[in-house]
Amino acid sequence: MPELPEVETVARLIRPKLVGRSIEACTVRWKRTTGGLDARALAKLVVGARVTRVWRRAKYIVFDLERSGAPAGALLGHLRMTGRMQVDARGVDPGPFVKVSFDLDDDHVFHFLDVRKFGRLVFTEDAAGELAELGPEPLSAAFTADGFFAALRAKRRAMKPLLLDQAFVAGLGNIYVDEALFRAGIHPLTKSERLARDRSDRLHAAIRAVLAEAIEREGSSFDVFYRTPEGNPGSFQDQFQVYGRGGEPCRACGTKITRLVVGQRGTHVCRRCQKR
Q: How far is the C-alpha of 43 from the C-alpha of 79, rounded, in Å?
A: 21
Residue-wise DSSP of 122-175: EEES-HHHHTTT----TTSTT--HHHHHHHHHH--SBHHHHHH-TTTSSS--HH
Q: Letter for the amino acid at 248?
A: E
Catalytic residue list contains 191:
no
Residue 162 and residue 192 in contact, taking contact as beta carbons nearer than 8 Å: yes
Residue 127: HSE in the Cβ half-sphere, 13 Å Cα cutoff: 23
Burial of 32 from C-beta contacts in 10 A (0-12 / 13-18 / 19+):
middle
Q: How far is the C-alpha of 89 from the C-alpha of 18, rounded, in Å?
A: 13
Residue 62 and residue 44 in contact, taking contact as beta carbons nearer than 8 Å: no
Q: Which of 31, 153, 208, 265 does the annotation list as catalytic?
A: 265
Q: Which of 2, 5, 138, 161 does the annotation list as catalytic?
A: 2
Catalytic residue list contains 2:
yes
> Which residues on adjacent β-strands are paired with residue 60?
57, 78
Q: Which of 57, 59, 84, 183 does the annotation list as catalytic?
A: 59
Q: How far is the C-alpha of 95 from the C-alpha of 111, rounded, in Å?
A: 10
Catalytic residue list contains 183:
no
Q: Which of 3, 6, 8, 218 does the annotation list as catalytic?
A: 3
Q: Which residues contact 72 (CB under 8 A, 6 or more apart)?
A: 49, 65, 66
Catalytic residue list contains 40:
no
Active site residues: 2-3, 59, 265
